Amino acid sequence: MIISLTLWIALYNRVITPLASKIKGKPTQLSVKQRMGIGLLLSCTSMAVAAIVETVRREITIKEGFLDEPQAVLSMSALWLVPQHCLGGLAEAFFTIAQNEFYYFEFPRSMSSIAATFFGVVMAVGSLVASFIISTVDDVTKRGGKEKTRAICIQRPGERGGEQSSRRPPTGAKEELGWSAVRRQRRTMIDAGVRRGSTPTEGVDGCCGYLCPKSREVQQVQFDLNTVSINFDHKERTHPLCESSSGLDAGYVSDDPRYKESMAQPPMAPPPKSLVFTVTRREPELIAPAKPTPHEFKKLSDIDDQDGFRFQISGMHFYRNDPSSMMKGRDPVKVLREALAQALVYYYPLAGRLREGPGRKLTVECTGEGVIFIEADADVTLEQFGEILLPPFPCLDELHYDVPGSGGMLDCPLLLIQVTRLKCGGFIFAIRVNHTMTDASGTIQFMNAMAEIARGAHAPSILPVWRRELLNARNAPRVTCTHHEYDGVTDMTNYTIFPLGHDLVNRSFFFGPTELSALRRFLPPHLQACSSFEVLTASVWRCRIIALQLDPAEEVRLICVVDARAKFNPPLPAGYYGNAFACPVAPTTAGKLCQNSLGYALELVRKAKNSVTQEYMKSMADLMVIKGRPHYRIARTFAVSDLTRAGFAEVDFGWGKPAYGGPAMGGADDIRGFACFHIPFTNDRGEKGVVVPICLPAPAMERFVKEMDSMLKDHSINATTSTFIKSAI
């Protein structure tokens, strides 16, 4: 389908349209509606052909006596599938492209995005209805003790006309077509391998195998060091009664040679290129404040509830088992659960729920319902993660579990904490908080309150301050500053962070004193006194744009996240834990950024940072009210946040400082590649510096590494080690 789609687009644009225009003597092109109509016709034709092929397949199945054999091998070529997929590709080329053009050119400009969104919603509703119909059919047909009808399988396994099938396919045979091939393909995607000599319903006595409704699921995930990406997402199902397993046993065979290599390693020593472990979670629970708290409504500030902050932020902390610590022999889960309940007495708005009022204004109803707490255990030691602890982390979805339905904005828990015990006695503390409630500084303030209480304090040393009205719009809102971060998107065709078509990869880069000195060589004398953050941000931004190879005329933007607490006169109260930062933008074009020196990029970074003042923050709050709390622009934007002084690595719950403390992911959780953080780090030579996790398409990452290396190499610098840090996973 993809091949036919690609070929037809090229043929239509390069051959058919120019030829038709030449014949008629004037520009000729099918209208949007005509192409949509042709696409629908081709789509219907594709479905009709698919139905014919399925009819032929079923007739062959009946003829060969395999009606009740889902894993039978048929004497039917896979080439039967080619016509329907070719027609499907042509249908997509006509209909989908024309439909997008219709939304963006036929609708009013203010409605184009809404129209496209509504189409996506309709498709989602259609899928939901289809799932509901299938579930209903299965539920109705399995009543009375009957086995349910599998709507996706025409030739149903098992009984047929009261007779048992007497013909079975050869064990381990290669399926070429039909339900067995579909099922094998799906299981391969899930397990990254196949299981020899077993079927979906096989098992030992008293167990129904894969489909056992009593089975419990735990995640096993394998990662690859070089690409820092998930290779396997395998669900092991173990029957609680018979102890049979359909997980990684002697019969498990991977399709990936790297997996075979890793499985050949001794079981007690994890292979050098992979880390596989199991996380067992208890049921999530709600932790309410330890004492009664006021039931009241508290409005968020006009900075807090902007559209761009309506998501979750996450952090991870890894703690070693220190026998000399004050917490020796104590259970971290119990200690932190109690500390959380005590801290919520002071931070009781976090135990409430968000409500939305007129003008999309958010208010916290302090209900005292509580926050989510998850207790978990992992059969892995902290040492197995490696000496270098940096995001992304293996099995992140299990160490930082997203409870279904808990991540919404309204009427959902505002805070989630998971504590996972490790085999070595250490533990992992994961936190997720609704960004509208707090920022990085506020999150650290809350965690330090928990830490002080866990160590025996009766109250936090810094008491929380709400006072969100300090960052509200003025009585007569007026935008007095330039806020490029909220500029409208003028070109919807480029509403992406990266050029499409490549997988994204993550890598982390270390910059110590030597590397920073090398970068400063490219700066003119009047910029030598600039901060390390400014030098590093300008260098990474410039190398990143060079690596992406964008159109020289295309606008690119850098967001510098600036903490504005000290910008106010007087400064905001010490205990203020609301959002108090700005996102000023440095705009330019890809051509100017790449062709000019590093000093040009640095001047843009400094100008953006220095634009944040008390008036800038007031103007931003006014803009939120005037323009309906808009989202900051994402297209071709790169955001950088400095966490080197945030204090993530200083949070001590009683077991000492963390081996790692910082963001759970290298960039923004929801939009990969949009943002990166500067994380404090000490390398194996004891040099203190900064780690910058970067996310780019694979080809661009290679160019980024090459460009950065060219800036760091010099005969006067002892570049004995690469700045690239391989992840422990």
Expressed in percent and rounded to 5, the helix, strand and coil fractions of the chain are 40, 20, 45
- Between CA 454 and CA 336 the distance in angstroms is 7
| H runs (alpha helix) in 483-531 | 513-520
Residue 249 annotated to the active site: no
Q: Is-catalytic flag, 435?
A: yes
Assigned token pair, 118: 């509504």
Q: What is the DSSP letter of 465?
A: B
Beta strands at 675-682 and 637-642: parallel, antiparallel or unpaired: parallel
Residue 276: count of CB within 10 angstroms of its CB: 21
User: Which of 191, 224, 652, 669 is flagged as catalytic?
Assistant: 652
DSSP annotation string for 631-653: PPP-TTEEEEEE-TTT-GGG--S
Measured distance CA(330)–CA(11) in Å, rounded: 70
The DSSP annotation for 234-260 comes to EEEEE-TTT--B-SSSTTEEESSHHHH
Active-site residue (options: 435, 622, 642, 669): 435
400 vs 14: CA distance, rounded Å: 50
If you ran DSSP here, which 8-state letter would residue 211 be given? G
Beta bridge partners of 286: 372
Tokens linked to 395: 């099995």
- How far apart, in Å, are the Cα atoms of 370 and each of 83, 286, 355, 450? 57, 5, 16, 15
Could you give the angle at the alpha carbon of 149 between the alpha carbons of 144 and 150, nearest 5°?
150
Say if CB 276 and CB 193 are below 8 A apart. Answer: no
Q: Are 479 and 361 in contact (CB under 8 A)?
A: no
Give the CA radius of gyration of the chain.
29
Q: How far, in Å, CA of 3 to CA of 90, rounded?
A: 10
Active site residues: 435, 652
